[in-house]
Chain A
């Protein structure tokens, strides 16, 4: 059965800190892994990863995939209060379906 495990479940930091969010997965016929950010509304797309070892970056956020060890990490440097959200990891196979993890809740305090 396909599964996704995200850790930690929750994280509380101060502005300026760097955080690392983890996602391990087991998905049949894996094709890609997506990261989403969810504030008090719909999930919004951050990254899609398909190849191992290639870092995707967008400003202070970056992500990398390890297809051999079946995990991905999402890094956020110099965190800001606006980064407070739930971060969802979603690997998918060749069926068009994404399997969403339960998410990591990040709270950034001033």
Chain B
């Protein structure tokens, strides 16, 4: 079975540019989570969806960040405009919330904002 798929794996951009990160959850999973990981702050939950509906976006740092899940197999996290302090590894994770608490992580996108 394919795991969680994220793209791109690496992104280097300049301050002020728009960045879009993409995620395909494991087929059949109905919950999707976006995390950000930095050395200083560790692994932080940004937002999560159940059945394509955003449930909790309290971790989204500011209005420059937005996330969508238009269908069960695709989600995006957008940063506009990007800033150097957004540099981090962004992980997407998914789970089947009807049967388990175990979240399965994608390989992550390493974002560098110059």
Q: Do A and B bind each other?
A: yes
Could you list which residues of chain A lie within 8 angstroms of chain B, going by C-beta atoms?
31-32, 34, 41-45, 48, 88, 92, 95-98, 100-103
B50 at the interface (CB under 8 A from A): yes
List, in ascending order, chain B residues with CB within 8 A of A31's CB: 101
5 A-B Cβ contacts within 8 A? A42-B108, A48-B100, A96-B50, A97-B56, A100-B43
B104 at the interface (CB under 8 A from A): yes
List, in ascending order, chain A residues with CB within 8 A of B44's CB: 100
List, in ascending order, chain A residues with CB within 8 A of B107's CB: 41-42
Ranked nearest first, the 8 interchain pairs of A and B with the lowest CB-CB distance are A42-B105, A100-B43, A32-B101, A102-B42, A43-B105, A42-B107, A92-B101, A45-B102
Could you list which residues of chain B lie within 8 angstroms of chain A, going by C-beta atoms?
31, 42-45, 48, 50, 55-56, 91, 95, 97, 100-108
Q: Determine whether the beta carbon of B42 is less than 8 Å from that of A34.
A: no
Interface of A is mostly: loop
Given the known interface contacts A42-B107, A42-B108, the answer about A96 and B43 at a Cβ–Cβ threshold of 8 Å is no
Given the known interface contacts A43-B105, A96-B97, the answer about A88 and B91 at a Cβ–Cβ threshold of 8 Å is no
Given the known interface contacts A96-B50, A96-B55, A102-B42, the answer about A42 and B101 at a Cβ–Cβ threshold of 8 Å is no
Given the known interface contacts A42-B107, A45-B102, A92-B101, the answer about A97 and B43 at a Cβ–Cβ threshold of 8 Å is no
Q: Determine whether the beta carbon of B91 is less than 8 Å from that of A97.
A: no
Quick one: which of B42, B95, B100, B101 contacts A103, CB cutoff 8 A? Answer: B42
Q: Determine whether the beta carbon of A34 is less than 8 Å from that of B105.
A: no
List, in ascending order, chain A residues with CB within 8 A of B42's CB: 100-103
List, in ascending order, chain B residues with CB within 8 A of A102's CB: 42
Q: Determine whether the beta carbon of A98 is less than 8 Å from that of B103.
A: yes
